[in-house]
Amino acid sequence: MPTKLGRVFTVFTIVLYAVTGILTLWSIVETIRNRPAGKALLGGAALLLLLLIVQLIISIATFGSAHEVDPLLYFGYIITAIMVIALAGFWAFAELSRWGPGVLAAAGLTVTVMIERLDQIWQ
Protein backbone atom coordinates (compact mmCIF):
# COMPACT_ATOMS: atom_id res chain seq x y z
CA MET A 1 0.00 0.00 0.00
CA PRO A 2 1.48 3.39 -0.96
CA THR A 3 2.34 5.73 1.85
CA LYS A 4 1.02 9.27 2.12
CA LEU A 5 4.52 10.59 1.35
CA GLY A 6 4.70 8.38 -1.73
CA ARG A 7 1.40 9.76 -3.01
CA VAL A 8 2.60 13.35 -2.45
CA PHE A 9 5.72 12.65 -4.52
CA THR A 10 3.64 10.98 -7.23
CA VAL A 11 1.28 13.96 -7.51
CA PHE A 12 4.19 16.40 -7.46
CA THR A 13 5.97 14.40 -10.17
CA ILE A 14 2.84 14.56 -12.36
CA VAL A 15 2.69 18.34 -11.84
CA LEU A 16 6.37 18.63 -12.82
CA TYR A 17 5.74 16.57 -15.96
CA ALA A 18 2.76 18.74 -16.92
CA VAL A 19 4.58 22.05 -16.44
CA THR A 20 7.70 20.79 -18.19
CA GLY A 21 5.67 19.38 -21.09
CA ILE A 22 3.72 22.60 -21.58
CA LEU A 23 6.89 24.70 -21.39
CA THR A 24 8.67 22.44 -23.89
CA LEU A 25 5.81 22.41 -26.41
CA TRP A 26 5.31 26.15 -26.07
CA SER A 27 9.03 26.72 -26.61
CA ILE A 28 8.99 24.52 -29.72
CA VAL A 29 6.04 26.47 -31.13
CA GLU A 30 7.77 29.80 -30.48
CA THR A 31 10.95 28.50 -32.11
CA ILE A 32 9.02 27.40 -35.20
CA ARG A 33 7.23 30.76 -35.31
CA ASN A 34 10.68 32.44 -35.26
CA ARG A 35 9.91 34.54 -32.17
CA PRO A 36 12.10 35.39 -29.20
CA ALA A 37 11.12 34.28 -25.72
CA GLY A 38 8.45 36.59 -24.35
CA LYS A 39 7.66 37.43 -20.75
CA ALA A 40 5.03 34.69 -20.50
CA LEU A 41 7.41 31.99 -21.73
CA LEU A 42 10.11 33.18 -19.36
CA GLY A 43 7.49 33.17 -16.60
CA GLY A 44 6.76 29.52 -17.43
CA ALA A 45 10.46 28.74 -17.11
CA ALA A 46 10.52 30.57 -13.77
CA LEU A 47 7.51 28.52 -12.60
CA LEU A 48 9.29 25.29 -13.48
CA LEU A 49 12.40 26.52 -11.69
CA LEU A 50 10.32 27.32 -8.60
CA LEU A 51 8.69 23.88 -8.67
CA LEU A 52 12.09 22.18 -8.93
CA ILE A 53 13.31 24.19 -5.92
CA VAL A 54 10.20 23.11 -4.00
CA GLN A 55 11.01 19.50 -4.99
CA LEU A 56 14.51 20.00 -3.59
CA ILE A 57 13.16 21.39 -0.32
CA ILE A 58 10.60 18.58 0.06
CA SER A 59 13.31 16.03 -0.71
CA ILE A 60 15.64 17.48 1.92
CA ALA A 61 12.85 17.58 4.51
CA THR A 62 11.78 13.98 3.91
CA PHE A 63 15.10 12.40 2.97
CA GLY A 64 15.38 10.32 6.14
CA SER A 65 12.20 8.40 5.30
CA ALA A 66 13.41 7.31 1.85
CA HIS A 67 14.45 3.72 1.30
CA GLU A 68 18.15 3.45 0.56
CA VAL A 69 18.29 6.47 -1.73
CA ASP A 70 21.82 7.43 -2.76
CA PRO A 71 21.98 11.11 -1.72
CA LEU A 72 24.79 12.00 -4.14
CA LEU A 73 22.92 10.55 -7.10
CA TYR A 74 19.49 11.95 -6.18
CA PHE A 75 20.57 15.44 -5.19
CA GLY A 76 23.02 15.56 -8.10
CA TYR A 77 20.10 15.06 -10.50
CA ILE A 78 17.82 17.59 -8.86
CA ILE A 79 20.49 20.28 -8.54
CA THR A 80 21.52 19.70 -12.16
CA ALA A 81 17.87 20.02 -13.30
CA ILE A 82 17.60 23.32 -11.40
CA MET A 83 20.80 24.61 -13.00
CA VAL A 84 19.74 23.51 -16.51
CA ILE A 85 16.43 25.39 -16.32
CA ALA A 86 18.00 28.46 -14.68
CA LEU A 87 20.74 28.70 -17.32
CA ALA A 88 18.32 28.02 -20.18
CA GLY A 89 15.98 30.72 -18.88
CA PHE A 90 18.84 33.20 -18.67
CA TRP A 91 20.00 32.24 -22.16
CA ALA A 92 16.46 32.61 -23.55
CA PHE A 93 16.21 36.04 -21.91
CA ALA A 94 19.54 37.16 -23.39
CA GLU A 95 19.04 35.63 -26.86
CA LEU A 96 16.65 37.81 -28.84
CA SER A 97 16.22 35.38 -31.73
CA ARG A 98 14.26 32.19 -32.23
CA TRP A 99 17.03 30.23 -30.52
CA GLY A 100 16.11 31.54 -27.06
CA PRO A 101 12.96 29.40 -27.04
CA GLY A 102 14.95 26.66 -28.79
CA VAL A 103 17.29 26.47 -25.82
CA LEU A 104 14.28 26.33 -23.46
CA ALA A 105 12.81 23.49 -25.53
CA ALA A 106 16.05 21.50 -25.31
CA ALA A 107 16.27 22.18 -21.57
CA GLY A 108 12.64 21.10 -21.13
CA LEU A 109 13.31 17.78 -22.86
CA THR A 110 16.41 17.27 -20.71
CA VAL A 111 14.58 18.07 -17.49
CA THR A 112 11.72 15.71 -18.42
CA VAL A 113 14.20 12.83 -18.52
CA MET A 114 15.75 14.00 -15.26
CA ILE A 115 12.34 14.12 -13.54
CA GLU A 116 11.73 10.52 -14.60
CA ARG A 117 15.13 9.51 -13.26
CA LEU A 118 14.48 11.33 -9.96
CA ASP A 119 11.24 9.41 -9.58
CA GLN A 120 13.00 6.11 -10.29
CA ILE A 121 15.74 6.82 -7.76
CA TRP A 122 13.23 7.88 -5.05
CA GLN A 123 11.11 4.74 -5.52
Strand, coil or helix: 72: helix
Cβ atoms of 36 and 91 closer than 8 Å: no
Write out the chain's pLDDT in tens, 123 residues.
456 666 777 888 899 999 999 999 999 999 999 998 889 999 999 999 999 999 999 888 887 766 677 888 889 999 999 999 999 999 999 988 889 999 999 999 999 999 999 888 877
Cβ atoms of 70 and 86 closer than 8 Å: no
What residue spans define the domains of the chain?
A: 4-122
